[in-house]
Structure 1
């Protein structure tokens, strides 16, 4: 009763094994050795080891074994044991794959590795978000004498952002999206976090989503953590929460690559 079903069974064989397990459970406390003896007495010679392999999916039984086990379950528990008819069980046997899936285990292992990587990236992103929150809390109003200078700086950032967005859009409209993307790649290294955030906002407003995504991805991957956090803060202030997530994910993905995640 304690035989475990293999994890790498293809769908058809898995359904058959589950049906065989139901029939076996109808035999009550009969052990696999006892079941082998009872089947042999009924004219179907089988060993305990074979039954074990049938019940965990290592071996595909022949139809005669399936019928013999079904008859034994009927004799023990009555008609339709496990809620199944003879034809249903035989149909499952006919649909069972003759060999086990050779790639299922590798696929599951790969999926588990990807799931682990995803969790690590989420943890890294959560760390960056915590730092972003801290940066927001620490941000304090500047003294009054510096307001005019800050206003001029913001105006300069906006002009630079508009110029960047305009150049990228012009190249894209000219039928050369590759040149537009290349221009953004070359520009990212010189953008301040405010210019980057403003450029993304302008591109979004002009429905240049591909260019905006490229800008955010490259900025997150190429710039140091402090710049990325500052840019995320500015995006947050502008209500671009989706773009905050984009740039942080790009940064955490790069961090995972750098550390061999």
Structure 2
């Protein structure tokens, strides 16, 4: 990349190599945009190359050439961050290195070590590769973000489709109910040990109390099953299926699912679908959908529909 001409003109008394270096440093200073040389020195020092502002002033005027390429490296990295690209900086990193080496050719001879020069060259190549990898990483990050956005969009569309299917099942059962095709609920004996109680006229429980009682009932059934009394657990579910409110039933099913007793949860849902009136089953499905169990809600509605077809 060709060196962009700077508005600052180097002193004519400087050697040609230093004049070129002064031009490059002026371009970097303009890219950084620091108001004062004191602030510029502070910014370069933060890049891992401690330098005083009077030394920066001598470098910029060509009175001295930096004794180490670390100054140029830190200065260029700072300008690159501010400008965003080598093109915006106005001079390429390779060109800046060439000008720096040409400004003080005897410096390389004083080093007296080809191995050191080779290490410097390798280090510069590594830094260049690191910058390239950083750019590629940013590109890959954008690609991952786009893929995640597409995945979430697809998931939302799938949930909308599930909700539409559930709404269709609800409408279907409501139509059957209006046509008088629903079967009446079965009357079952009630076990005294069950925590939920049937709703009584004029004595409705608060919603929180219903939820708490249903959770305790589900925990008791799960304990029976865990202690090897699966028959007693299923019997307690059968007794409760006839009088649990939709909220209580949905809470119990959700609690059983959450405690890894999905078979008991399925059994309770199937019993309610077979024994309860259509409106109760629909309200149960709505409660389950609101609790984040749309698949369970659909299964119960399908079971209720199968009962109506018998």
For the aligned pair, the TM-score class normalised by the smaller chain equals 0.3 to 0.5
By relative contact order (CA 8 Å, sep 6+), the higher-ranking structure is: 1
Q: TM-score, normalising length from structure 2?
A: 0.35
